[in-house]
Structure 1
Amino acid sequence: MTLIEDFATGYDFPLDDYQVEGCEALAAGEGVLVAAPTGAGKTVVGEFAVFLAVQHSRKCFYTTPIKALSNQKYHDLVARYGAERVGLLTGDLSINPDAQIVVMTTEVLRNMIYAASPALTHLGYVVMDEVHYLADRFRGAVWEEVILGLAESVQLVALSATVSNVEDFGAWLAEVRGDFATVVSERRPVPLYQHVMVGRRLVDLFEGTAPTALEAPSVRAAKVNRELLQVARNESSRVRDDSRRPRGRSGRGKPGGRGDFGGETHPRFAERPTSRADVARVLQKARYLPAIYFIFSRAGCDAAVGQVLNSGVVLTEPAEARLLGEIADRHAAGLSLADLDALGFEDFRLALTHGVAAHHAGQIPAFKAIVEEGFQTGALKLVFATETLALGINMPARTVVLEKLSKYNGEAHVDITAGEYTQLTGRAGRRGIDVEGHAVVLWQAGMDPRAVAGLASRRTYPLRSSFAPSYNMAVNLMTTMGRDRAREMLDQSFSQFLTDKTVVQAARQDRRIREDLSGLQEQIECHLGDFMEYAQLRDDLSRLESSSAKHRRAERVAQTADSIASLMPGDVVWVPRQGWSVVLRTGQKPAKGAKPWVQIISLDHTVLKLEPHDFPGPVDAQGRIRVPRQFRLKERSDRRSLVAALGAKVEELDEPDFDDVPTDESHAAEIQRLRREIRDHPCHACEDRELHAVAAARVLRLEREAERNEASARGRSKSLAVQFDHVCDVLEELGYLSGDDLTEAGSMLRRIYNELDLVAAEAIRRGVLSDLDPPQLGAVLSSLVFESRPGRDVIAPRMPDLASERAQSELRDVWREVGVIERRHKRERSRDLDIGFAEAVWRWASGQDFAKVLRHSSLAPGDFVRWVRQVIDISGQVAQAAGPGDLRRNCRTLINQLRRGVVAADMEEE
């Protein structure tokens, strides 16, 4: 019996061809990339790597992107190999870390590589589950750091969802890792049938017999069901008829809609909207349960559970209800009665025993674990979930329901992508249990069935790299391999690999431009002189005049942005057209190149969210009033009191002046010189001057385009190395590097893995954190990790006391100074500090009970627990970086004070 045959006996189903192919590559000593649909069983190849490690007495690390998936995989491997052979490392938990098989989050392995951990000795295999996470904007770089940093002797198994550029990804892995096989499967082991629920009817999306397996060609060949097309036509005719009727002041009857997939903005429904309770009944009658019902809103998920429960729907048998109750009681055993009451455990348990539950990031991990275990037993029938459930957790269902095909991305409602649709519906169909899976989309007014069919037909999406050098990465690379080798490693990234492919396209564009230039030569011939010289002077003048104005505007905007970033809640400022106002909140937009913003309320009770372009110049606080801790913007009495305090304050203030940025004198002198040269040039007197000028202007545009293409190709080919140089320049100016050597400060920075790593390191060096007690320290450190959810109307944030407010002000000064240096060295400024969690974590560290802390914050329980754990994490990093002394002791005391009650229980849960 071969090793593969021996391994296969551990499964109750025969291995698919692609699984066997992946295992054969591993057995032959190659690395392997396996790309397959969700639920197709690609983890079998990763488990074969674990099997080989045991057979060959080597170590195997199994990495996952999230802690919950690490815990799940740990329990799976313990069941197969025994607890003595398997360990778990997630940052929060450390179980048997020296075991032969260790499950860990990818960040833990990255940190081990940089620290040259002894645990890497005898490492033979690394499995990277969900490797397509390297496209993640915030965490994706970690995957590439691991892939590039692992020793050549380690065999790598990369498990990915199906991506359209899998060949590119496989070719890159082969280039940086040596012998590497790419195994692709687009076939699902359980066929997926697509439906649309119109009213209380399930209608097939495609006509005829659905494919026996989910293969892109066969799905694309299927025709859209004519019944759905007729529903759309009927609705369209009703809208046209309705639009001819007189409209009242409310505007009802106005045709509308949102995207190809419809939405609630459409004025009339062809069919009565299907209630969530009705969906549960239809699925139960059709025997399509258990099901995951995706709603892109936490509040929507919780509301849906209540709606189904209140409708009287019961989806469980008595034995199933008892089992679910036992699961809930077991997971909740570590929580106090007060905590359970604050969490609404009794309502949660009642709905659970009826077969209905929610699953989202706003829940504490214990509640999510109850839902996951209950669903895996088959007793829990219907889970209302946000899209985060689609990322890795093993919760297959018979059916997946999508309530809408659009979601709110923090700024606007956008249609989901084909990749997201595939990821979500991929949960449907349990291998070894179901003979078929079902994807159900609820009909929305204005929906185009052809667009839905197109979404269901596109199975793949491109994998892009998010790799970029950070300050922590730079000091670690400089330590382990030096600057030259670090630049070489950056040149080996997947991002660089994809970029280099554009050189051929750039060359093709360059040839086209040269051909166009040769055809313009006759049109610019002038008998009076060199017209291109004359045209260049005119062009220089035009660009300089434009640049001078742009420079003044840019300088003004930069100054204004810096001033807004320095504002604090309670600052009194002058706002154009509104007059005196008080600052309620500040922050940045959650996007690349984010601009600072400020929310204000003026004397006439107007509330505005303003950005730098809304001000004529820098905004300085002219005074300060107290914003109460419990201030709520929606409460009229709170607004009246605050505006009254503002009115009393402004009586002593004068309206500020906004002076223009002075004109650059050197620009003005150069402009006058160019004007004289143009007037004196012989071609200025040419009768055909403007005809020549048109052709010359096109020549100049084409030449600039050619230069841009060349510079772009040259810049792309060195882009990451150039970014790395900019990072090193910042570090050298601040004293973390001395030439190519790390200073003592640089060694300290190696221990801080945080988006604001450099700001945290500077705060340690300058003693910003030194005089704080543990709760105050937690409040200040929270601003380094916390990010407010966009679009949330929350209590105006503030620091809990004067000492923490003073330290936070100093930390903001550090952030601002680092930002100035970053801009000088062409680095994008780090994200802003956010004090939205400061008071909550201070209260928790001070020993207040869970219910009281929640009452004084706007956070969901799960968010609270998650952010406390983030503060615990950054506290541990600061303790390590600071070295022996009071700050390290205070950090460790803080960690102990935070790790209690529901937070400690959830760490044990995971």
Structure 2
Amino acid sequence: MSSISGSPSPSDSFQAAAQRTAEAKSHLGAFARTLEFELDDFQREACRSLQEGRGVLVAAPTGAGKTIVGEFAIYLALERGLKAFYTTPIKALSNQKFFELSAKYGAANVGLLTGDTTINGEAPVVVMTTEVLRNMLYADSATLGDLGYVVMDEVHYLADRFRGAVWEEVIIHLPSEVQVASLSATVSNAEEFGAWLDTVRGHTDVIVSEHRPVPLWQHVMVGKEIVDLFAGDTSFDEIAPDVADFGEADGAPVVAAAARAAAARAADRGAGKGTATRVGQAPSLSPEFEVNPELLSMARAESRMNFNGRFGHGGRGQRRQREERSSSEQRSPVRKASRPQVIASLHRQDLLPAITFIFSRAGCDAAVAQCAAAGLWLTTEREQQIIALRVDEASHEIPADDLDVLGFWSWRDGLLRGLAAHHAGMLPTFKEVVEKLFADGLVKAVFATETLALGVNMPARSVVLEKLDKFNGEAHVNITAGEYTQLTGRAGRRGIDVEGHALVLWQPGTDPAAVAGLASRRTYPLNSSFRPTYNMSINLIAQFGRGRAREILESSFAQFQADRSVVGLARQVRSREESLAGYAESMKCHLGDFTAYARLRRELSDAEQFAARKQQRARRSHVADSLTSLIPGDIINMSSGRTPGYAVVLNSDLNAREPRPVVLTADNQLRRIGVHDVDGPVSPVVRIRIPKSFDAKLPKPRRDLAASVRDAVREDDAKARRSSRNEGFGLGSRMPDQEKKIADLRRALRAHPCHGCSEREDHARWSERWWKLRQETDGLVRQIQGRTNTIAKTFDRVCDVLSSYGYLESSDGGQVAISADGQRLRRIYGEKDLLISQSIRQGAISDLDAAEMAALASTLVYQAKREDRGLRPRMPSVSLESAVDIVVREWSLLEDTEEQNKLPLTGEPELGLMWPIFKWAKGRHLQEVLSGTDMAAGDFVRWAKQVVDLLDQLAQIPGLDRRLARICRESIDLIRRGVVAYSTVG
């Protein structure tokens, strides 16, 4: 392995020169002559490794040019008459790379495979999503013949908890003769990942570059003013990473060395060397690189003002002290700059084009509207003419009826102004137009969600972060240093800008030291998310047998990391055992065995806590039982709980463990209630009839039903009051046996000799320390035991589930064999693979027509947002209702089985896409399809393509009835029309 970071020594430079002379006649030399720029040292080193027959892992910052290494792998393949695959994590990146490589090597030599799109799939160079390559490996596709090179772009994506395992599957299963070029963002454990690649793929060189070709400057935008984040005159990424650390006093990044060496580089940067200029007046270079004092002063002043404003007016003396503060501390709290103000300020300081990251699709669209409403125009008349021509060319096939639904006119107006949004809710065609216009410098300001940071080639002069937290689907969390690096890495266009600029918007509560901490930690660890799935396991068994499959899984990066961590854990255990011996010595008592006395104290404490938990569980069980017994039409009174008032039950929930029935409150609020929402068991006050035509999504039916609830309650108020009482459940009493055990322990404790020791409590403190450390040490021991063969143990549990369902069978020779149903599962890929297989097995698709087939497929791929999960909708047909019943029943059974086997649970079927897909398959217009939903057109297209992907899988399942296979293909034809068909190449 080798690593490149920082400046080379003279001897290294001499050796490099000799190598370049020798390389002039090699493939690398020929490739370098096709480029318009000189290869950087890390690019040359990585290409040399590939030329010499080794695999390579390249870890470098965004924009450093690591894709050149991937392009050299393709060049080698074409020169040597072999195939090359270029894999990416997302279709948008695959499409972009397909166009780039087609332009470079010719359309005849480049293909594209993205699940639902196939273009020239047998070409010598094929761009594909990583899942497609994984599926080809399991199917032993003939396309793999003569494969010589695989480029894995954005390989750090294997840390993704949902899809990351696919990268490891591909790396493990690729034939040994295939060279792999892995391209990664800068990660802190590149050597560890490279060591694993070396183990599973053979000799692999690790090439790490910390250098950004375009220096990045960090700023905070305070009001309309852009202020430097760091004091000093050197961009942070010019400082060698091994001297970066955090100051003890305020958490600011400190560089104790190398600053003066960076000064020379800073001095070479003149105002006339590029269009981007240094923002603000920086102090002279200091040996320490710390947060700008102006920002710290502003934060402290704001903190004091917030404190005084929030906690009272104070006396005269306090007011006089405030009046005597310096002017910097008397200023009023700074307001966050508006979006138009931010863009206008960047425009004035020649810092456009810019990407503003907003962690909300609605926020991105709103930002464009706000800038347009403020009258911003960032384009010239000539640029507007070019934009109009490009937009009209890209959209000429879109039916006029769909333009309004797609928000075409406001989108077009924004582009003419040089403004655009970019997020997953947009039509793919619209996103592609934005990407091309931005790359050509015609769009100046893009408001994007974080998905843009994943490899799509849209560099900017500046990157703006509106805030440093985001909603992850469950809660608002702070962005990590790795995410900050990935987002701000877009700033600075190689060959165009001499420097890039990252700006964080100031708002109340902004901590400069916290921002500095994010800005200075540019690396993050790459941790495996690998776990065996049903499809993966059965494919491995089919190809290698169960024993060999188990060994292959133990070679995963996840197990590699687990094994390495055991060494450190064992060291901690040894250290703690020594401390335990010292604690035991300190708690010795001259009156008796204090260890036994401490054990009695612990048993008493545990018994009392157990009794309290028992009481709480009894209450919870009674409440759960009462919620489970509710049926639609029951009116309940929750006046003593967290959601006070009357409500009518809209649907039952028979989940005894965690029932959450849906109710409509008397004040017209739709919600789910659970055991934590009520103080005690609930029972119906009275019952009313819910109309069969009731639709909870419509406001008027909800209002009418809420009025019926209020009327019914008034008629039976006395009964409603009785329903809120909790008498008769015996929740206040403990179990007699438990009370006796507690009393016996108290007597034994008082009778022990150590109870009368004058230093008893001092000994007890040592015993508590001993006990706490003992528990922690035992926990470490359990971790060591748990991390040994963890992947193989999970694989065994997966096999147990597959055997219980009959997908695996024992043959006469004691070997494991794949049943006919198992062969079907081998060709179903997705998070709900076993559920899909079971649903087919139980006849869910047997009686469906093409439109119904599409609707059912949507329930097996769609993932609704948490807030959109609600009532079961009315079914489009009786056949589809029966099919959905089968799917839901099979999911419930599978979830029980997975719980018993301690496996991750398969996601619940989601019905929210069923009606839109059904209407679309029936030929309805897009406006009618999306009417009554909160779904954006781009989201609908994206999910429709995933439905097509699943239907295509089903149509090719071995042994599937020919009629059903034909219906699947008909279903695909019904969906692949209009915006779904012309939206994108992939």
Q: 1:571 to 1:426 in 2, by over 3 A?
A: farther
Match of 1:370 in 2: 433
1:625 and 2:683 correspond: no
Which residue of the other structure, out of 280, 296, 311, is the alignment partner of 2:359? 296
Match of 1:837 in 2: 913
Query: How far apart are 1:330 and its partner, in Å?
Result: 1.8
For 2:977, the aligned partner's letter is R
Q: 1:669 to 1:585 in 2, by over 3 A?
A: closer
Q: Is the 8 A contact 2:236 2:520 kept in 1?
A: no
Query: 2:417, 2:630 → 1: CA distance?
Result: 51
For 1:900, the aligned partner's letter is R
1:741 and 2:817 correspond: yes
Query: How far apart are 1:708 and its partner, in Å?
Result: 3.5
Tell me the SS of whatever aligns to 2:290: coil
For 1:852, the aligned partner's letter is E
Q: 1:164 to 1:526 in 2, by over 3 A?
A: closer
For 2:208, the aligned partner's letter is V
Match of 1:895 in 2: 972
Q: Is the 8 A contact 1:141 1:468 kept in 2?
A: yes
Identify which range, 336-345 or 825-834, moves more after superposition. 825-834
Match of 1:344 in 2: 407
Match of 2:753 in 1: 687
Query: 1:157, 1:658 → 2: CA distance?
Result: 67
Q: Is the 8 A contact 2:61 2:489 kept in 1?
A: yes
Match of 2:673 in 1: 610
Which residue of the other structure, out of 848, 852, 856, is the alignment partner of 1:780? 856
Query: 1:14, 1:830 → 2: CA distance?
Result: 51
Match of 1:147 in 2: 171
For 2:68, the aligned partner's letter is V
Q: Is the 8 A contact 2:858 2:947 kept in 1?
A: yes
Match of 2:39 in 1: 15
Q: 1:903 to 1:672 in 2, by over 3 A?
A: same
1:846 and 2:846 correspond: no
1:714 and 2:714 correspond: no
Q: Is the 8 A contact 1:34 1:182 kept in 2?
A: yes
Q: Is the 8 A contact 2:223 2:337 kept in 1?
A: yes
For 1:754, the aligned partner's letter is G
Match of 1:189 in 2: 213
| Aligned pairs for 1:477-496 within 5 A | 477-496=540-559
Tell me the SS of whatever aligns to 1:110: helix
Q: Give TM-score, length-normalised by structure 2.
A: 0.81
| Aligned pairs for 1:795-810 within 5 A | 797-810=873-886
For 2:800, the aligned partner's letter is D
Q: 1:822 to 1:573 in 2, by over 3 A?
A: farther
For 1:888, the aligned partner's letter is A
Q: Is the 8 A contact 2:637 2:724 kept in 1?
A: no
Which residue of the other structure, out of 186, 190, 211, is the alignment partner of 1:162? 186
Which residue of the other structure, out of 322, 335, 341, is the alignment partner of 1:278? 341
Query: How far apart are 1:402 and its partner, in Å?
Result: 1.6
Query: How far apart are 1:368 and its partner, in Å?
Result: 0.3
1:823 and 2:899 correspond: yes
Identify which range, 740-749 or 140-149, moves more after superposition. 740-749
Match of 2:325 in 1: none
Query: 1:564, 1:159 → 2: CA distance?
Result: 53
Match of 2:275 in 1: none
Match of 1:259 in 2: none
Match of 2:294 in 1: 227
Query: How far apart are 1:22 and its partner, in Å?
Result: 0.5
Query: How far apart are 1:851 and its partner, in Å?
Result: 0.8
For 2:838, the aligned partner's letter is E
Query: 1:472, 1:796 → 2: CA distance?
Result: 29
Query: How far apart are 1:741 and its partner, in Å?
Result: 1.8
Tell me the SS of whatever aligns to 2:983: helix
Query: 1:847, 1:55 → 2: CA distance?
Result: 49
Q: Is the 8 A contact 1:573 1:583 kept in 2?
A: no
1:119 and 2:190 correspond: no
Identify which range, 813-822 or 17-26, moves more after superposition. 813-822
Q: 1:233 to 1:826 in 2, by over 3 A?
A: closer
For 2:690, the aligned partner's letter is I
1:771 and 2:847 correspond: yes
Match of 1:264 in 2: none
Structure 1: segments with no counterpart, 5+ residues: 248-267, 589-593
Q: 1:656 to 1:486 in 2, by over 3 A?
A: farther
Q: Is the 8 A contact 2:626 2:681 kept in 1?
A: no
| Aligned pairs for 1:539-578 within 5 A | 576-577=638-639, 578=645
Query: How far apart are 1:764 and its partner, in Å?
Result: 0.8
Cα offsets for 1:695-733 (capped at 9, x unmatched) = 888777665554433232011112111111111111111
Query: 2:628, 2:972 → 1: CA distance?
Result: 30
| Aligned pairs for 1:115-514 within 5 A | 115-211=139-235, 214-215=238-239, 216=241, 217=243, 220-221=254-255, 222-240=289-307, 242-243=309-310, 270-514=333-577
Q: 1:738 to 1:79 in 2, by over 3 A?
A: same
Q: 1:618 to 1:539 in 2, by over 3 A?
A: farther
Match of 1:252 in 2: none
Q: 1:618 to 1:65 in 2, by over 3 A?
A: farther
Cα RMSD, aligned residues only: 4.0
Q: Is the 8 A contact 1:85 1:101 kept in 2?
A: yes
Q: Give TM-score, length-normalised by structure 1.
A: 0.87
Match of 1:582 in 2: 649
Identify which range, 209-218 or 71-80, moves more after superposition. 209-218
Query: How far apart are 1:485 and its partner, in Å?
Result: 1.7
Q: Is the 8 A contact 2:872 2:911 kept in 1?
A: no
Query: How far apart are 1:777 and its partner, in Å?
Result: 2.7
Query: 2:519, 2:778 → 1: CA distance?
Result: 43
For 2:453, the aligned partner's letter is A
Which residue of the other structure, out of 855, 859, 869, is the alignment partner of 2:931? 855
Tell me the SS of whatever aligns to 1:502: helix
Cα offsets for 1:578-623 (capped at 9, x unmatched) = 55523479999xxxxx978554323454544434544668999999
Query: 1:696, 1:742 → 2: CA distance?
Result: 56
Query: 2:50, 2:625 → 1: CA distance?
Result: 54
Identify which range, 823-832 or 853-862, moves more after superposition. 823-832
Query: 1:619, 1:369 → 2: CA distance?
Result: 56
For 1:109, the aligned partner's letter is L
Tell me the SS of whatever aligns to 1:688: helix
Match of 1:811 in 2: 887
Query: How far apart are 1:134 and its partner, in Å?
Result: 0.5
Query: 2:60, 2:877 → 1: CA distance?
Result: 53
For 1:270, the aligned partner's letter is P
Q: Is the 8 A contact 1:631 1:796 kept in 2?
A: no
Tell me the SS of whatever aligns to 1:188: coil
Identify which range, 860-869 or 773-782, moves more after superposition. 773-782
Tell me the SS of whatever aligns to 2:934: coil
Query: How far apart are 1:539 and its partner, in Å?
Result: 6.8
| Aligned pairs for 1:84-103 within 5 A | 84-103=108-127
Q: Is the 8 A contact 2:635 2:647 kept in 1?
A: yes
Q: 1:357 to 1:145 in 2, by over 3 A?
A: same
Q: Is the 8 A contact 2:662 2:871 kept in 1?
A: no
For 1:820, the aligned partner's letter is D
Tell me the SS of whatever aligns to 2:509: coil
1:731 and 2:802 correspond: yes
Query: 2:310, 2:743 → 1: CA distance?
Result: 64
Q: 1:354 to 1:817 in 2, by over 3 A?
A: same
Q: Is the 8 A contact 1:487 1:721 kept in 2?
A: yes
Query: 1:761, 1:560 → 2: CA distance?
Result: 37
Higher-Rg structure is 2
Q: 1:210 to 1:455 in 2, by over 3 A?
A: same
Q: Is the 8 A contact 2:597 2:754 kept in 1?
A: no
Match of 1:864 in 2: 940
Q: 1:276 to 1:757 in 2, by over 3 A?
A: same
